[in-house]
Chains A and B, each alone.
Chain A
Amino acid sequence: QKEVEQNSGPLSVPEGAIASLNCTYSDRGSQSFFWYRQYSGKSPELIMFIYSNGDKEDGRFTAQLNKASQYVSLLIRDSQPSDSATYLCAVISAGNMLTFGGGTRLMVKP
């Protein structure tokens, strides 16, 4: 079982809709959670991090964490075609190492 699981997609949403990206993790002791965006052929860039249960909002992005369910999600409101990318969930787990999920490809259609 992979330590960090994501649906590979593609997730297709119309422009202006809410995109919901989900991630589950296996290490119950994980404390820090990250969402990276990666455009095709480019390197990952950090867009959100969350450490505490609940919601964290930054502009059109909201990260949600539920440690009891070992579940972290990313909501993108008012999705734009420029949001089309692969979104990588990452978790700091045993040994203080960052473990990545396989990524979810998001397509926002005009």
Chain B
Amino acid sequence: NAGVTQTPKFQVLKTGQSMTLQCAQDMNHNSMYWYRQDPGMGLRLIYYSASEGTTDKGEVPNGYNVSRLNKREFSLRLESAAPSQTSVYFCASKASSYNEQFFGPGTRLTVL
């Protein structure tokens, strides 16, 4: 059981470039989440997917898009990266009947 996996672990982009962060979970969880973490800010929710086929905006969705490809996979896309998107990105998943979210190892993204 790998839990929640994320790729890549590190990425450096130039302003205006695009990229997709990948997330997969093998726990058969219905809900999946994308957060960003900046120093002193805790984690802020970007987008979430309560179940396969649905996605909703979180607190800070601007500049991002998501795709819930199937029950296992939830990707986050930056269409035109900006320096303000430099952050650590965490994916998480949760079973419907419990409140605990399980986090992936994170992707450290730098936008120059």
Interface set of A (CB-CB < 8 Å, partner B): 4, 6, 8, 32, 34, 42-46, 49, 88, 92, 97-103
Size of the B side of the interface (Cβ < 8 Å), in residues, is: 17
The reply to whether B101 and A98 form a contact with Cβ atoms under 8 Å apart is yes
In terms of DSSP, what is the predominant structure of the interface of chain A? strand
Residues of A within 8 A of B105 (CB): 42-43
Q: What are some 14 contacts across the A-B interface (CB < 8 A)?
A: A4-B42, A34-B99, A34-B100, A43-B103, A44-B90, A45-B103, A49-B100, A88-B43, A97-B58, A98-B45, A98-B99, A101-B42, A102-B41, A102-B42
Interface set of B (CB-CB < 8 Å, partner A): 33, 40-45, 48, 58, 90, 99-101, 103-106
The 9 closest A-B pairs by CB, nearest first: A100-B42, A43-B103, A100-B43, A102-B42, A102-B40, A46-B100, A44-B103, A101-B42, A32-B99
Closest to B42 in A: A100
Residues of B within 8 A of A101 (CB): 42
Q: A34-B99, A42-B105, A49-B100 are in contact. Are A97 and B45 (CB under 8 A)?
A: yes
The reply to whether B48 and A97 form a contact with Cβ atoms under 8 Å apart is yes
Cα–Cα, bound, A34→B103 (Å)? 14
Residues of A within 8 A of B41 (CB): 102
The reply to whether A49 and B42 form a contact with Cβ atoms under 8 Å apart is no
A22 to chain B, nearest CB (A): 15
The reply to whether B43 and A44 form a contact with Cβ atoms under 8 Å apart is yes
Task: Apart from A34-B99, A42-B105, A100-B42, list 14 A-B contacts with CB within 8 A.
Answer: A6-B42, A43-B103, A43-B104, A43-B105, A44-B43, A44-B103, A46-B101, A49-B100, A92-B99, A98-B33, A98-B99, A100-B43, A100-B44, A102-B42
